[in-house]
Structure 1
């Protein structure tokens, strides 16, 4: 049987972080939020596909809430906000999460209205834009973090 140190090493090599309160709140919940964000993009771009998977329940609000929670916690933990009061950190991270999420929904709704109503195309467009927007957003926050560390 593997020792606890060997188990942690394997988990770390796979890209997972050891489970504790900090990683749960600021790594795993944001990761789950990113997954929900991606599913939300498919839901907005191709609602008929999601209705086939969940025929009795509209999951849009669930996906949106998970997205907001994940992106809000991601922002809350960033070092450039840690110098602020807790109230300001909550306010700014909530603002960023809402702006990012609802701005994305607006982008997807506009895209959906201009691209052909083709199930695979809409799904790929949703997935592609969600991954691109997550990458742009995390790069932007990384840039802000790098600037604040220099000052």
Structure 2
């Protein structure tokens, strides 16, 4: 296998791991939001395996956010691979538990309005995902600027 081919496969692997898996796992957060916001409807749709499916969605959401953070430019130069994993897991846990906390608050604000809860909850989850995406890109841009400045001063 030539060097160019192996480089191309490495690029494809990075895109799958750090771009496409996180992109597809956004549906996991929205699905888990359904479980939190409308548990009766979630159970009707999914059936008797609703707890297993909910846990799978929860895990998938953590995996997607964690992989996205792990693949970010600013964590690429973390002091060690352990630190990079640690920061990615921490960010994923904070993001996902913050989302669930918001869903629980929405559920308590609209206790008898399931459709409204779902609408507000999906909007909030989508907004969280968009803001998180923009925030990580902003941090990566700042990191690239700082790195560029330090390279030009030497």
Instruction: Please list every run of 5 or more consecutive structure 1 residues that lacks an aligned counterpart in the other structure.
Output: 1-18
Q: Which has the larger radius of gyration?
A: 2
**How many residues are treated as equivalent by the alignment?**
133
* Cα deviation code 1:55-80 (max 9, x no counterpart): 20122211110000000000000010
Which residue of structure 1 aligns with residue 98 of structure 2? 103
1:68 and 2:59 matched: no
Aligned-pair CA distance for 1:119 = 2.2
Which residue of structure 2 aligns with residue 41 of structure 1? 33
TM-score normalised by structure 1 residue count: 0.83
Structure-1 separation of matches of 2:112 and 2:23: 30
Question: Structure 1 or 2: larger helix share?
Answer: 2
1:117 to 97, 101, 112: 112
Structure-2 separation of matches of 1:20 and 1:149: 23
Instruction: Judge conservation of contact 1:26–1:77 (CA < 8 Å) in 2.
Output: yes
Instruction: Judge conservation of contact 1:32–1:66 (CA < 8 Å) in 2.
Output: no
Instruction: Please list every run of 5 or more consecutive structure 2 residues that lacks an aligned counterpart in the other structure.
Output: 1-10, 147-154
1:128 and 2:123 matched: yes
Structure-1 separation of matches of 2:12 and 2:138: 27
TM-score normalised by structure 2 residue count: 0.82
Structure-1 separation of matches of 2:124 and 2:112: 17
